[in-house]
Amino acid sequence: MSAAPLLEVRDLYKHFVLPRTLLSRLLTGQGNRIVHAVNGVSFVLHAGETLGLVGESGSGKSTLGRTILRLYEPTAGEVRFDGQDVFRLDAAGLRRFRQQAQIVFQNPYASLNPRKTVRQILNVPLMLRGVPKQERQAEAAALMERVGLAARHLDRYPHQFSGGQRQRIGIARALAMHPRLIVLDEPVSALDVSVQAQIINLLEDLQLEYRLTYLFISHDLSVVRHLSTRVAVMYLGQIVELGPTEPLFEEPLHPYTRALLSAAPGQGQRERIILQGAPPSPLDPPPGCPFHPRCPAAVGEVCRTVRPPLAPHPGGRWVSCHLYGGLAQEDGRVASVGQ
């Protein structure tokens, strides 16, 4: 792993404003409502690794992926790609950045233009990369073959392909730019398991072949465990735990990670931690630790008032929890949570 990370995210915030009508503002006496989708996220991504980003719906994982690519303008914070500040790029710089950082979307039925043939869909990135017109035909054909489709299907429309085949086209479109980073936003969630396995294998092969770096967003814990080098767990817009995959799955530190992992089916007889209630709304995140209202291990006042920082832990791990902050260690709660 090289010393300088490929991508560095520092204290990133993305808030969306839900406008209230004038009447509602007058009646409630309050201003617009704010969705705190990404709320102070920091991490680094090294070249060639796969960082799995897990979390439940509404935790902000897709928003984070899109803000990193500057598909959304951030509210605050910094993203550095190869040392360059992504949010300060001019139009030309942004085009160069977008050539190197691509995205594959979740829904292969919605992310391809139904009125264009696959050839037209693949031609756009090839043109943007500056491939001469006479070479595009051969490149498009090679891309199709590379993702496991037949070059003779280039003149078909998206509706003539199955879901798995469409996802392959989405991957080919991203590859056409020769990217270094690909944000994979739930790329297999819409697929049946037998097709899902084909796409996962393809993603692994492509990563080795082109030394790609993946930010792999998914709610499917077993898929993330299979593919990722490291994993970040998001809850209500924040990363609550981050670390190398196996240690994190074997011995999760954050109480939320414990509950999330124990809830996943398919792991045989294991004690389940059933959380009470549902995640709070990102419209109105609780003060202090975002997880404290549901936390079975909350240690008291500090959890309700002070937001725990994402702090280092031995073994290259990071956890955002007061249990590991030294504040709680005196009363012996750590040991009980360790079970």
Partner 1 sequence: MEKLLVIENLSVEFPSPRGPLRAVDGVNLEVRAGEIVGLIGESGSGKSTVLLAVMGLIARPGRILPGSSVRLKGRELTQLSQKAYRAVRGYEIGMVFQDPMTALNPSMPIGEQVRESLRVHRYCKSKAEERERVIQLLEAVGITNAAQRYRAYPHQFSGGMLQRVLIASALACNPRLLLADEPTTALDVTIQAQILDLLKEINRERNTAILLVSHDIGLAAEFCDRIAVMYAGRIVEVGPAERVVNDPQHPYTRGLVGCLPTWGGRRGRLEPIPGSLPDLTRLPHGCAFADRCPLALPECRDQEIPLIVTSDGREVSCIRTEEEVAV
Q: Which of 24, 226, 300, 312 binds partner 1 (CB under 8 A)?
A: 226
Whole-number Å distance between alpha carbons of 115 and 255: 48
Q: Which stretch binds partner 1 (CB under 8 A): 77-85, 220-228, 307-315, 319-327?
A: 220-228
Q: Which candidate, 231, 172, 162, 244, places its Cα nearest to that of 203?
A: 172
Q: Does 196 bind partner 1 (CB under 8 A)?
A: yes
Q: Does 208 bind partner 1 (CB under 8 A)?
A: no
Q: Does 223 bind partner 1 (CB under 8 A)?
A: yes
Q: Which stretch binds partner 1 (CB under 8 A): 28-36, 71-79, 224-232, 312-320?
A: 224-232
Query: Measured between alpha carbons, how far is residue 221 from residues 152, 226, 251, 262, 267 in Å?
Result: 37, 9, 15, 10, 11
Q: 216 CB contacts (<8 Å, ≥6 apart)?
A: 50, 51, 52, 53, 184, 187, 224, 227, 228
Q: Does 23 bind partner 1 (CB under 8 A)?
A: no
The three-state (H, E, C) secondary structure of 22-34, written as one string: HHHHHHHCCCCEE
Q: Does 267 bind partner 1 (CB under 8 A)?
A: yes
Q: Does 236 bind partner 1 (CB under 8 A)?
A: no
Minimum CB distance to partner 1, residue 222 (Å): 4
Residues of this chain, 50-79, that bind partner 1 according to CB under 8 A = 56-57
Token output for 152: 């003779």
In terms of CB distance, is 136 or 230 closer to partner 1?
230
Q: Does 189 bind partner 1 (CB under 8 A)?
A: no
* Residue in the structure block whose two tokens are 């992504």: 86
Q: Which of 44, 89, 94, 197 binds partner 1 (CB under 8 A)?
A: 197
Strand partners, 234: 239
Query: Measured between alpha carbons, how far is residue 277 from residues 8, 281, 283 in Å?
Result: 34, 12, 17
Q: Does 171 bind partner 1 (CB under 8 A)?
A: no
Q: Does 192 bind partner 1 (CB under 8 A)?
A: yes
Minimum CB distance to partner 1, residue 35 (Å): 16
**Residues 111/41, Cβ–Cβ less than 8 Å:** no
Q: Does 278 bind partner 1 (CB under 8 A)?
A: yes
In terms of CB distance, is 124 or 200 closer to partner 1?
200
Q: Which of 162, 209, 283, 338 binds partner 1 (CB under 8 A)?
A: 162
Q: Which of 198, 244, 311, 329 binds partner 1 (CB under 8 A)?
A: 198
Q: Which of 268, 314, 326, 332 binds partner 1 (CB under 8 A)?
A: 268
Q: Which candidate, 186, 120, 205, places its Cα nearest to that of 158?
A: 120
Token output for 148: 């496991």
Q: Which stretch binds partner 1 (CB under 8 A): 18-26, 94-102, 115-123, 273-281?
A: 273-281
Q: Does 38 bind partner 1 (CB under 8 A)?
A: no
Query: Measured between alpha carbons, how far is residue 247 from residues 231, 235, 253, 277, 314 in Å?
Result: 10, 19, 10, 28, 11
Residue 276 exposed, middle or buried by CB count within 10 Å (0-12, 13-18, 19+): exposed
Give residues in contact with partner 1 (CB under 8 A).
56-57, 162, 164, 192-198, 200-201, 204, 219, 221-223, 225-227, 245-246, 249, 259-260, 262-268, 272, 274-275, 278-279
